[in-house]
Amino acid sequence: QKEVEQNSGPLSVPEGAIASLNCTYSDRGSQSFFWYRQYSGKSPELIMFIYSNGDKEDGRFTAQLNKASQYVSLLIRDSQPSDSATYLCAVHTNAGKSTFGDGTTLTVKP
Amino acid sequence: KAGVTQTPRYLIKTRGQQVTLSCSPISGHRSVSWYQQTPGQGLQFLFEYFSETQRNKGNFPGRFSGRQFSNSRSEMNVSTLELGDSALYLCASSLAVGGDGTEAFFGQGTRLTVV
């Protein structure tokens, strides 16, 4: 079992819809959770981070964390074609190690 | 504020050679992590340095090594290059290694091609 698992996709949604990206992790000692967006040929860029159970909203993005279920998700509202990218989930333990999922490729169709 | 700077951006090396990659973190960031990214393997953690000490290491052979200097700049070295080492090598800096401030900011990467 991988330490961080994401649906590889591709996930395709129409413009204006909500895109839902999911991530599960195995290490219960994980404390910090991150979502990165990576456009083809570019390096990952941080979208959001979340430390506490519940929801965290930033503009069109909402991160949701459920530590009991070892689950973190990213919702993108009003999806735009410019949101088309690979989304990477990263989990950081207090031991200082970050583990990335393999990413979910999102395509937003106009 | 300047971002994470990696040099060189592109590199072509021959099998058996060695290579050194450099990473300058965001000013004030003391943690530097290195990752290898390939199409088949995704983003793989190499190692992390904080205050000149290696704190974590991924599952890579001893040919991969690194160090961090007192100004937080870091270098990664790969010796006896193999074709399979061809990848995008990414450096990320963060303020801390635990708790708040662990969000990482990536450099543009060094694209290494081994021929």
The DSSP string of B93-112 is EES-SSSTT---EE---EEE
What is the model's pLDDT at position B41? 77
SS3 B83: helix
pLDDT surpasses 80 at A93: no
Q: What is the CA radius of gyration of chain A?
A: 13
| A52 compared with B75, residue with greater pLDDT | B75
CB contact under 8 A, A32 and B107: no
Closest CB to A96 among B97, B103, B107: B97
| B17 compared with A52, residue with greater pLDDT | B17
CB A79 within 8 A of CB A18: yes
What is the model's pLDDT at position B1? 61
The shortest C-alpha distance from A103 to chain B (Å) reads: 8
Q: Report the C-alpha gap between A7 and A4 in whole angstroms.
A: 10
| Confidence at B100, pLDDT banded by 50, 70, 90 | low
Q: What's the whole-number average pLDDT of chain B?
A: 92
Look at A11-15, A25-29, B74-78 and tell me which has the smallest mean pLDDT: A25-29
Residue B29: strand pairing partners:
none
SS3 B16: coil
CB contact under 8 A, A88 and B100: no
The shortest C-alpha distance from B83 to chain A (Å) reads: 20
Tell me, rounded to whole angstroms, the distance of Cα B86 from its chain centroid: 14
Q: Note the pLDDT tens digit of each residue in B54-74.
A: 988 998 999 999 999 999 999
